[in-house]
């Protein structure tokens, strides 16, 4: 069953997530539900637990080669800073230009309990940084310059009003 995705204004998006101690049944079910939620969001590639209101350090993503889940991820190496255009399921309709690293190395645990390190570049690297940010309560509007943040928030508000009118 797809879960409700929290959007900007929900305080849970600003909280820091806590480490997952063990992959028990509760975590398994959460991962499954998050996977379904991501699948139900066309064109989207990643979803962090805090975005569905659960403060656990994990996220799911699918960059085209199947659904994956990373638990307790930690970015341990970065290189090649560049500017990226980025959106977020929690800020529907908003895109901002922000600095990201073109290459990252992430240490994490898989749902089967294996400790692994992933090296990613380009879009995949951008995605991993985006999801790791969520686990710290950081959103894309925190990473762009103040002018762009103002513009993005105004745009977001306009879109929110339009959505409300559409459902009224
Ligand atoms: Zn996001």
Tens digit of pLDDT for each residue in 26-68?
999 999 999 999 999 988 899 999 999 999 999 999 998 899 9
Has 15 been annotated as catalytic? no
Sign of the dihedral through C-alpha 165, 44, 102, 79: positive
CATH architecture of the region 11-167: Alpha-Beta Complex (3.90)
Q: What distance in Å separates the CA atoms of residue 48 and residue 17, rounded to the nearest whole number? A: 10
Options 16, 121, 131, 164, the catalytic residue: 131
Residue 166 confidence (pLDDT) above 90: no
Q: How far is CA 38 from CA 5, 8, 74, in A?
A: 10, 18, 22
Q: Where are the domains of the chain?
A: 11-167
The environment of the single-atom ion ligand 1, i.e. residues with CB closer than 5 A, is 88
With beta carbons less than 8 A apart as the criterion, state whether 33 and 3 touch: yes
How remote is the CA of residue 144 from the centroid of ligand 1, in Å? 14
User: What predicted TM-score, i.e. pTM, was given to this entire model?
Assistant: 0.95
Using DSSP, state whether 73 is helix, strand or coil.
Answer: strand
Tens digit of pLDDT for each residue in 83-142?
999 999 999 989 999 999 999 999 999 999 999 999 999 999 999 999 999 999 999 999
With beta carbons less than 8 A apart as the criterion, state whether 38 and 46 touch: yes
């Amino acid at each position: 069953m797809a879960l409700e995705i929290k959007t900007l204004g929900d305080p849970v998006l600003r909280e820091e997530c806590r480490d997952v101690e063990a992959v028990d049944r509760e975590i398994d079910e959460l991962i499954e539900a998050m996977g379904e939620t991501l699948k139900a969001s066309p064109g989207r590639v990643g979803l962090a637990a805090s975005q569905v209101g659960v403060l656990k350090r994990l996220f799911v993503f699918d960059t085209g080669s199947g659904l994956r889940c990373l638990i307790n991820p930690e970015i341990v190496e970065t290189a090649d800073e560049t500017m990226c255009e980025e959106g977020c399921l929690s800020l529907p309709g908003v895109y901002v230009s922000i600095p990201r690293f073109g290459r990252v190395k992430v240490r994490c645990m898989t749902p089967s309990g294996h400790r692994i390190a992933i090296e990613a570049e380009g879009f995949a690297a951008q995605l991993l940084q985006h999801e790791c940010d969520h686990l710290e309560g950081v959103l894309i509007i925190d990473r762009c310059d103040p002018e762009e943040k103002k513009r993005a928030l105004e745009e977001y508000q306009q879109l929110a009003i339009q959505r409300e009118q559409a459902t009224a």
